[in-house]
Structure 1
Amino acid sequence: MWKAWFLSFCSEMPLVCLSDFEEYAKSHLPKAVWEFFAAGADECCTRDENLLAYKRIYFRPRVLRDMSAMETKTTILGNEISFPVGIAPTGFHKLACPDGEQSTARAAETMKTCYIASTYSNCSVEEIVAAAPSGLRWFQLYIHRKRTFSEQLVRRVESLGFQALVLTADLPYTGKRRDDIRNSFQFLSSTSLKNFEGVFEGEDRSEYGLPSGSIDPSVNWDDISWLQSLTRLPLIIKGILTKEDAELAVRHGVQGIIVSNHGGRQLDGVPASIEALVEVAAAVQGKAEVYLDGGIRTGSDVLKALALGAKCVFVGRPAIWGLAYKGEEGLQEVLKVLKDEFRLSMALADCPQSCKSQP
Structure 2
Amino acid sequence: MTTVAGVGQTGAGQGAGQTGARPDGVGPVEAEAVDPIAGRFPTLTEIRAAAQAVLPRDVWDFLAGGAGQETTLRANRDAFAGWQFRPRVMSGHPVPSTATTVLGLPMRLPVLTAPFGTDGFFDTDGHLAVARANARCGTLSIVPEAGTHSIESVAHAAPAAARVAQVHPMGTERNFARMLERIERAGYAAVCVTVDCPTAGWRERNLRNRFTVDLRMITGNYPPGGDVAAQDVFGQLFARDEPVWTWERLAGLMRHTDLPWIAKGILTAQDTRLAIDAGAGAVIVSNHGGRQLDGTPAALDQLPEVVAAADGRIEVLLDSGVRCGTDVVKALALGARAVVIGRLAAAGLAAGGEAGVARVLTLLREEMITVLTLLGHGSVTELTPEALQRSRP
Matches within 5 A, 1:203-282: 212-213=238-239, 217-282=243-308
Given that 1:204 and 1:211 are in contact with CA atoms closer than 8 Å, whether structure 2 keeps it comes out as no
Q: Tell me how far apart the structure 1 counterparts of residues 96 and 242 of structure 2 sit (CA, whole Å).
A: 46
> What is the CA distance between 1:128 and its match in structure 2?
0.4
SS state at 1:143 partner: coil
C-alpha distance after superposition, 1:109-166 (max 9, x if no partner): 1111111011111001111011112224211111222322111111101111111111
Whole-angstrom CA distance in 1 between matches of 2:158 and 2:294: 36
Which amino acid is 1:273 matched to?
A: A
> Is the alpha carbon distance of 1:210 and 1:82 closer, same or farther for their aligned partners in structure 2, counting shifts above 3 Å?
same
What is the Cα deviation at residue 215 of structure 1? 8.7
2:306 is the alignment partner of 1:307: no
1:39: which partner in 2? 65
Given the superposition, is the C-alpha separation of residues 307 and 211 from structure 1 closer, same or farther in structure 2, using an over 3 Å criterion?
A: closer
For structure 2, the residue ranges without an aligned partner over 5 or more in a row are 1-36, 389-393
- Structure 2 SS opposite 1:165: strand
Between the aligned partners of 1:279 and 1:324, the Cα distance in structure 2 is: 35
- Aligned equivalent of 2:356, options 330, 345, 352: 330
1:149-204: CA deviation from partner (whole Å, max 9, x where unpaired): 11111110111111111111111221100121222222336535111122665969
Alpha-carbon distance change, 192 to 241 in structure 1, aligned in 2, over 3 angstroms: closer
Alpha-carbon spacing, 1:247–1:15, altered in 2? closer, same or farther (3 Å):
same
1:348 to 371, 374, 384: 374
The one-letter code of the counterpart of 2:239 is G
Cα shift readout 1:194-247 (whole Å, capped 9, x = no counterpart): 111226659699x8x887337954211102322222211101111111111112
- CA shift, 1:101, in A, is 1.1
Are 1:134 and 2:181 an aligned pair? Answer: no
Q: Is structure 2 residue 128 aligned with structure 1 residue 102?
A: yes
Gaps of 5+ in 1: 1-10
* Count of matched residue pairs: 347
- Go from structure 1 to structure 2 and tell me whether the alpha carbon gap of 1:201 and 1:219 turns closer, same or farther (over 3 Å shift): closer
In 1, the alpha carbon distance for the partners of 2:322 and 2:232 equals 36
Q: Summarize the Cα distance change of 1:246–1:142 in structure 2 as closer, same or farther, 3 Å threshold.
A: same
SS of match in other structure, 1:195: coil
TM-score by length of 1: 0.91
- Aligned partners of 2:303 and 2:336 also within 8 Å: yes
Partner of 1:154: 180
TM-score by length of 2: 0.83
Deviates more, 1:156-165 or 1:195-204: 195-204
